[in-house]
Structure 1
């Protein structure tokens, strides 16, 4: 006996129960497939495999014998299974169930989580196959692999410590924001593809707002004018486009919360009611405007076309990251040389171009200890106010007065409610 984790030495009946439950859960799913595929292993086989793993855990000799036994049975089942495409999922699942039983004697929570994940993976066979063959294009799969490589390989290599040459700003959270932007680009494309032009456009507007609400409003406004001069107000898709633009403003409030959670998590609890008030007001206004018929009649045509090829717009994401660093440097310099007034002015000026950059800069400075909590809240509200002005003007230039009016009817009341919420906290 080596480490005393076996059931014989410790009486770890809870681990044994988790192992049995894991085997039953996975076995139930495999039992449903047993008749269709002709597998020899079903509910009882998977449960016994998990129990063998639990009973032999901590006993090297018995563990080796049990592993060889289960692996041998899995290979035998694979050999006996006939058909043009027999596969080996069930055999691998049987051996994985044995390993889960072993793990149950060490870490109950991990074993239970693995059992649920494996059972879910097996149960979602058809949806996953449909996703692989029909739901994702080759370009989208390539995008997903690039994002995974960035998150698992590149991101850990970026320094996590505050950088003195950037005024104490940490680069890894900034890189995480870039990955978030790229992920939302892919999610927006998939939303249009899977949900269709109406629901997909609304969700795409929301997700694109996490990247840039201003750019989203400009793009949607340009679609309002596609019918030609003077036809903007007659556009039957105006209501839908305005709703998508309004949802991009909701994303701005949510993005501010995500930035705080990433760069200054200690401040999120204090400012989350303010940000939630802004987002909730925007959502309520969008719902009210739609119900009261302020928007034009329902749409009759699809206003968007599905983009082909890669959804990753690297230039846009990197540009956002560079702008974040530039605005961070501006606000840091203003704090050092001009005091609180300089920070407010820097936040307002930065917000004219992008709302996320000054929020990120203020949060990074607050996390580094170079900014007071009061100045953080004031700066965020100033940045969002100046950016609301930019978005209103952009909506008017891109989509006309009617489109801008609908956007402004969401932007400014939501900001006013957030400012009121901040004043009473």
Structure 2
């Protein structure tokens, strides 16, 4: 039970929003001939005016108040136009009045937006410096492409199976495009922040929790474009598989703990092998002579990302055809086919059969490792496609080593 009337809460939020935004504007309004027209009191009153309009009337009254604020802001800008004052303060004033009105009906939302507005206003210098001095033209273009791919294209794609065997989901395939671009961009940023010797291995390990295959492709693209980054890129590619093993163990444990108990030795052997191989390349990269490295070109390659999506589509079609040919009776065939696209979904599906009582935990070992094997084939294809022969010659032995270690775990068990 609330002891505070909702209207009081709304006005308090409106007061807080006005004060929060007004404090920043007060600090920046200056003095003398260049003094800005609005400060702490003006913004606070504007927010309370919007709240009063909404409380006493409705959205129409608030709209009338907002139009009045627009007229006031326009007049203020016209009077100071010779000094090119910008429209930030005027725009913020109108927005503050609207936030005050919003606080009456949705105080939590208004408070959150008020904080965002205040942060944007306070971060003016940092944002300007980032855009003008840090962000390059190529990076800005890449940012716009990524935003369009994520916010425009992805929502428009159907989220349902299409094509032969119902094997293709356009939204899933396009998600791979976005993941490849995101992982590439993460590696690019890591290189800029901490340098390639540390940045790429760390980015690879972190990105592996999203998609190891996409990470391998992204690292291959980086190594092919900048051969001097070959060793840290290989380290990042192989270390991404460590994340795959860790995530696989977590998902299996969450689905059926006895299944993990049956698979813990193969998974442990595989993870340790990947850590040793990736760690060796990381140490090799660290022993290189330190030199300043300037990142080159784009943060990601859209062509490469689209190529990976095409490869995934072909693999999914081939896997569906194999399942149709051999039937659904064989868990091994189904898991192997699914593994081409994703190890985790195949392993979780097999573990679910144990939970349903259809198979025993020891019977999951071969199907899960079969999925692990076919997924390794997909990773090797990505390594060759993205990084070329040199990158593949470094990465594929590491992938085969961790695969062999996983199968060797059966013998020990």
TM-score relative to the length of structure 1: 0.67
Matches of 2:39 and 2:272 in 1, distance apart?
49
8 Å contact from structure 2 (residues 164, 317) kept in 1: no
Change in 2 beyond 3 A, CA 1:127/1:282: farther
Contact 2:50 2:101 in 1 (8 A): yes
The 2-side partners of 1:96 and 1:347 are apart by 55
1:301 to 2:280 alignment: no
What are the Cα deviations for residues 102-161 of structure 1, in whole angstroms up to 9, with x where unaligned?
111222232122112211211221222122212222222222222222233322332223
Which deviations, in whole Å up to 9, do the C-alpha atoms of 1:292-318 show, x marking residues without a partner? Answer: 99945644324965221x444233222
Deviation at 1:54, TM superposition (A): 0.8
**Equivalent residue for 1:53, pick from 50, 53, 59:** 50
Aligned partners of 1:34 and 1:42 also within 8 Å? yes
Which structure 2 segments of 5+ residues have no match? 356-363
**Contact 2:246 2:271 (C-alpha < 8 Å) held by counterparts:** no
Shift of 1:400: 11
Q: 1:270 aligns with which of 252, 255, 265?
A: 255
User: Per the alignment, in what secondary structure is the counterpart of residue 29 of structure 2?
Assistant: helix
Alignment coverage as a number of residue pairs? 377
Three-state SS of the structure 1 residue aligned to 2:86 is: coil
Q: Residues 249 and 216 of structure 1: is their aligned pair in 2 closer, same or farther, counting only changes over 3 Å? A: farther
Contact 1:249–1:411 under 8 Å retained in 2 = no
CA distance, structure 2, for counterparts of residue 144 and residue 400 of structure 1: 29
After superposition, the CA RMSD in angstroms is 5.1
Q: CA deviation at 1:191?
A: 3.0
Which residue of structure 2 aligns with residue 7 of structure 1? none
User: Shift in Å at residue 178 of structure 1?
Assistant: 1.7
Are the equivalent residues in 1 in contact too, given 2:13–2:103 (CA < 8 A)?
A: yes
Structure-2 change in CA distance of 1:157 and 1:245 (3 Å): closer
- Quick one: which of 382, 405, 410 aligns to 2:370? 382
Distance of 2:27 and 2:273 partners within structure 1? 46
TM-score after normalising by structure 2: 0.69
Report the counterpart of residue 62 of structure 2 in structure 1: 63
**Structure 1's 287 and 63: CA in aligned 2 closer, same or farther, altered over 3 A?**
farther
Using the alignment, how far apart are the partners of 1:64 and 1:392 within structure 2? 60
1:35/1:386 CA distance change after superposition, 3 Å: same
The 3 A distance-change label for structure 1 pair 307 and 360 is: farther
Q: Which residue of 2 aligns with 1:4?
A: none
Q: Does 2:30 align with 1:41?
A: no
How far off its partner does 1:96 sit? 0.5
3-state secondary structure, aligned to 1:191 = helix
Q: Deviations over 1:79-108 (max 9, x none)?
A: 454774421111101111111111112222
